[in-house]
A and B are shown apart, each in its own frame.
Chain A
């Protein structure tokens, strides 16, 4: 092993590729970074021992995992492409034999691929012992635990006091809606996959969700497509309240900016999970299985817990950065999206149209309805 590590040079090459057009950014929630492809080459490049991953997971979060994997298996050349969730989905359907592993936060879309038989079954002991509620059939594995949170600017708490949940927020909006005009930012469900996914989930969880949307509409809330965009505005002080941000992405920014504060509501907290699957037509299936064992194994999960804010799901990984810790803190309020066929219902064309129409109606009753079939899957 030492011999291998000394004779193999770890090459970390970051290519800068042209960013896909903004029009494609419908479902995506990846933080925009310049680097979209990560390659880790094995020294002995003549042997075709590769692993190709496509993911909707930003470079800064995936890099620690891939580096650790490369250190352990230096003979495997790794190519990781960071893609938008829809692009990822579309590209996979066009060429399912181009990629070994798909990682995405778009749970319904991933579920649909697995349901249609695009994923292969993993039978390793590690995959088999993975918690049942975080996998589907040995084919689709959720490996992170990211709560959906509110982020508020200190300006707001100084003026109106501490917010603790949805009721506080709703009351605040009702009382001071005009003062907060344009100060609220949230996802646009019509153009963002994550936003849509949150909206449909929350609409099912709480009937007062629509009151909130209506209040957002009255306060002229701003609609964006990514968590990063919300964070940008919050850091700049343009927005005081960010609603429905991915906790994993918000956490580093909040830590870096004392102005900002994360609020995890007490009644219910949506939880997004990244899911990974190995393509049935994976060109390097053996390496893909090795990577999955690494990702779901204790080593990989420890790296997720310690070096990323994604939230490790392995039941034996506890302490800071683990799902266990979040569960201990927030208990029953956490509502992870279950990997069940109900996810397919969220992708139903008509359902999507119905929800978006309702959302639009609640948000701005006066405006004509927006046709939203462009981003139907």
Chain B
């Protein structure tokens, strides 16, 4: 069971892809959130520490004075033991005191609102140490004047990093838990959703192989459609099955009649002592058995043609040559019966493109024989074969009584006869029809300009393009 062919794997694959995508976004968001939360929490510390220092800034001896509260520094060093830096600058940015001289933060907040504390915070680097720097600008009011100053404090990021990791780990475990739960629910859900398929398979497998009854098991909508399609197929198969049974019944009936005739004739002859009678009887029996064997042959070929597994070997054939051969073959029989069999070939020499189709030679020969035979049998005096180019086809015209339009489709069924001709098998036109179907050709019965019936075989125009013209098997 490869992945591409398994519904289960396909569904699971898509769901997992979705889960992976969403999970990725959630993980990224969780990381950003954790970072933001940690920064916010620790920035509060920076804010409080700068405030604690700013409150201790005094104006003394005409200069800024600071009694540095150690707690302000302690505040910034949490369990992570961050490095702490601070410095105090006057309004002009000159260094007053501190353990290092910290840089000023961006110029956009250039002390625009004097009197108010302004606290800003940002990331920076000091000697390769990543620091978070908070600056507070404040003023102290003395009698004559008011002095601005700036407290800058920074610490390293270990504590923030630890908090971020801690928060992120917690979010991650939630996300992973949810993912695990989702996957297990997916697994169960897909299995449940696909369970009716298993039921259908089991129902099909457990069926009596001989029955063609429709399936009735209850299925979800999507599979109910499949069940209906299956039932359609079964219905068609039932029809085909019935047709076949009828055919077999007809066929055995057809063969039983001549066999019964033979028995009756032989019995009758045996009652006589006259050899002349026997001779007549034998002659009649020979005729009957010849006819029966021909009928058996036709039944066989019809069965063969109707077999859906049958794939004819298609070869390029020249229709003109086929018609020519058929005329040659039947000419003597027709001549003896006083029938004029002719070929109406449209000047084959001038025609640059011969009417080539792909087909099985023996089948097409059989079809033409049947058509000539049929015309002959139904009292035609003139039979003419001709080929056409547009559309590609072969025609058999006669001047017999023809077939009424209403019956033209019915005569194509096996064992259907118009006249009660004892010689006819009722299979000739059915065989031609089957051959036409095997060649994707149209078999059309119409009125002939010569007064009788025109039987036409029109082949599809889009024949496989082959440059075979003269070296076809029938180009004799």
Contact = CB atoms under 8 A, between A and B. Distances in A.
Interface of A: 112, 115-117, 136-137, 340-342, 344-351, 354
5 cross-chain pairs, A with B, having the tightest CB-CB distances, nearest first = A342-B70, A341-B73, A345-B70, A341-B84, A348-B68
B66 A351 contact: yes
B69 A345 contact: yes
Interface in B88-105: 96-100
B76 A341 contact: yes
9 contacts: A116-B127, A117-B83, A340-B73, A342-B70, A342-B71, A345-B70, A350-B68, A354-B65, A354-B67
Interface of B: 65-74, 76-77, 81, 83-86, 96-100, 127-129
Highest count of chain B CB atoms <10 Å: which of A115, A340, A347, A350: A350
A353 to B, nearest CB: 9
B66 A341 contact: no
B168 to A, nearest CB: 23
A61 to B, nearest CB: 29
B97 A349 contact: yes
A351 B58 CA distance: 12
A116 B83 CA distance: 7
B317 to A, nearest CB: 93
Given A117-B127, A344-B99, A350 B67 contact: yes
A350 B65 contact: yes
Residue of A112, A115, A116, A137 contacting most chain B CB atoms (<10 Å): A115
Nearest to A114: B83
B125 to A, nearest CB: 12
Given A116-B100, A117-B83, A345 B68 contact: yes
Contacts of A340: 73-74, 77
Nearest to A112: B99
Contacts of A350: 65-68, 96-97
A356 B239 CA distance: 118
Nearest to A348: B68
Nearest to B72: A345
Nearest to A338: B74
A351 B66 CA distance: 7
A349 B99 CA distance: 9
A93 to B, nearest CB: 12
A351 B56 CA distance: 11
A351 B68 CA distance: 6
Contact of A344 (B67, B73, B96): B73
A346 B69 CA distance: 10
Contacts of A342: 70-71, 73-74
Given A344-B73, A349-B97, A117 B66 contact: no
B81 A137 contact: yes
B377 to A, nearest CB: 112
B84 A344 contact: yes
Contacts of A137: 81
B296 to A, nearest CB: 102
Given A350-B66, A354-B67, A345 B73 contact: yes
B476 to A, nearest CB: 101
Given A345-B72, A354-B65, 4 more contacts: A137-B81, A342-B73, A342-B74, A351-B66
Contacts of A348: 66, 68, 97-99
A234 to B, nearest CB: 33
Nearest to A200: B70
Contacts of A345: 68-70, 72-73
A220 to B, nearest CB: 29
A115 B156 CA distance: 10
A359 to B, nearest CB: 14
B129 A117 contact: yes
B166 to A, nearest CB: 19
A117 B72 CA distance: 21
A137 B71 CA distance: 19
Contacts of B83: 115-117
B174 to A, nearest CB: 32
Nearest to B98: A348
A348 B151 CA distance: 14
A115 B100 CA distance: 11
Contacts of A117: 83, 127-129
B84 to A, nearest CB: 4
A137 B155 CA distance: 14
A357 to B, nearest CB: 10
B287 to A, nearest CB: 116
Contacts of B66: 348, 350-351
B74 A341 contact: yes
Nearest to A137: B81
Q: Which of A116, A345, A349 is most buried by chain B, counting CB atoms within 10 A of its CB?
A: A345
Which residue of B69, B70, B85 has the most chain A CB atoms within 10 A of its CB atom? Answer: B70
A361 to B, nearest CB: 14
Nearest to B79: A132
A208 B9 CA distance: 82
Contacts of B99: 112, 115-116, 344, 347-348
